Structure 1
């Protein structure tokens, strides 16, 4: 956008923010449905408390929640503040990504990745489980957009697999050792799958940065979220949100941060 007029730039940024609001609302809704065993593709949006089908004016991102004072118009049940927060976050995320990568395929790829990461974080917070379908969505995002770029598709795919495996495989080995030492699961398989999938998009050195950042964020999130209840009733630490947050920050800053670090030597 550096070569566009101010009016066109403002138009693109406004459109990006509005698109983020709408798609953030969809991602939030999809995550809620997955966490509650409902179909993502079928059925109208409804109140989680009374089942009332929401009208179009009740589905305006952020605005509807504010006008209804955070409550369902039909039954008066409180509507979680997570809805406007995630919608607002996605709008900001879309803005930051388009400012970072301009109007390119990188922006499209990272917009999709951000939506999937948001859904993964929300489902993991609610259930302690990362759906394989969402991880598969990340793999498809990488594959499809890489194909759209043209050039040596298979070489780019193999590079992505190497970059993801360079971090995920050693981590898997460490986790298996820790499982044996502790006599219990030290990290969920979904977390390792997610680290591999996210690693497709970045150089292996940036993936190390993502993993380190995820560990630091995980410690911080542990103090906030403590634990969630899994289907078997045991407490589990939701590491997915930390990985998702670290991956999003890596989209914006991993490459310059790693380059700045390496320049010290």
Structure 2
């Protein structure tokens, strides 16, 4: 039984890393309006098709020493990083949920969050092609996650979209300019569909904490480089908060309540 668990764990990581390789295609092509299916994977520098043996997740990057096999152009460290993170996501979900519908559901949810996060980091946008269908798809969470209830899904979507919408309106009223994009609003609504109303508040709180820390660090770096203002995408921090909730949210909430008492 132990050996079988180890085998499934290894296969979970490999499966996740392979999906991460596909996410790299989504991250690179979707913001440019390109097809994620065609043409096949190719080097963005020399356009040479990448053979299967040069497209192995993580391993190929190490064997090629971070350079294209044909033109020797550097390969971004983001590619193996996305593959590694997605592999670890699959592995972690297997250890938490086992081979269950909940594990598969949250893996798909996490994979979408990873793609959104890296697109937001690169382009400061959250594509509607991911978030809007995500709201609908992940509203089925009550069918796959035993503790989820339909009313929590509904309130999660309404709270997720509504809270940030009113925050954005209030900021615009005070500053007369946008401080938060509509993509963040749709993203939190999608997170609410997958995690329920408790997940929304947990995600918003933890995402704000991490966002504040990340923003302070980015502004400090921007000040050293002579830039006036650093643009801080909020999507990655919301995504991080949502994944923290999936793995440890209930435990953290219980600990916090016990701490207050």
TM-score for both structures, normalised by structure 2: 0.88
Structure 2 counterpart of 1:209? 202
Deviation of 1:69 after TM superposition, in Å, equals 0.7
The farther-off stretch of 117-126 and 141-150 is: 141-150
Deviation of 1:221 after TM superposition, in Å, equals 3.0
Distance 1:115 1:8 in 2: 25
Tell me the number of residue pairs that the alignment of Structure 1 and Structure 2 aligns.
Answer: 251
1:66 to 48, 62, 76: 62
Structure 2 counterpart of 1:246? 241
Deviation of 1:167 after TM superposition, in Å, equals 4.1
Distance 1:148 1:217 in 2: 29
Structure 2 counterpart of 1:230? none
Structure 2 counterpart of 1:177? 170
Residues 1:203 and 1:144: Cα distance change in structure 2 (over 3 Å):
closer
Structure 1 counterpart of 2:185? 192
Structure 1 counterpart of 2:225? none
Deviation of 1:175 after TM superposition, in Å, equals 1.6
User: Which whole-Å deviations, capped at 9, do the CAs of 1:90-139 have from their partners, x for residues lacking one?
Assistant: 11111111111122111011100111001101111111110011113422
CA RMSD of aligned residues (A): 2.3
Contact kept, 8 Å, 2:132 with 2:186, in 1: the verdict is: no
Contact kept, 8 Å, 2:66 with 2:75, in 1: the verdict is: yes
Distance 1:145 1:213 in 2: 22
Contact kept, 8 Å, 1:112 with 1:141, in 2: the verdict is: no
1:120 to 113, 116, 126: 116
Distance 1:235 1:217 in 2: 16
1:218 to 207, 211, 217: 211
Structure 2 counterpart of 1:132? 128
Structure 2 counterpart of 1:16? 12
Structure 1 counterpart of 2:43? 47
Contact kept, 8 Å, 1:28 with 1:83, in 2: the verdict is: yes
Structure 2 counterpart of 1:32? 28
Deviation of 1:199 after TM superposition, in Å, equals 1.2
Distance 1:249 1:176 in 2: 28
What secondary structure, in the 3-state scheme, does the structure 1 residue paired with 2:65 have? coil
User: Which whole-Å deviations, capped at 9, do the CAs of 1:62-103 have from their partners, x for residues lacking one?
Assistant: 111111110111111100011111111111111111111122
The farther-off stretch of 190-199 and 216-225 is: 216-225
Query: Where in structure 1 are there 5+ consecutive unaligned residues?
Result: 228-233
Deviation of 1:198 after TM superposition, in Å, equals 0.4
User: Which whole-Å deviations, capped at 9, do the CAs of 1:141-173 have from their partners, x for residues lacking one?
Assistant: 4245544679xxxx9444302123234313321
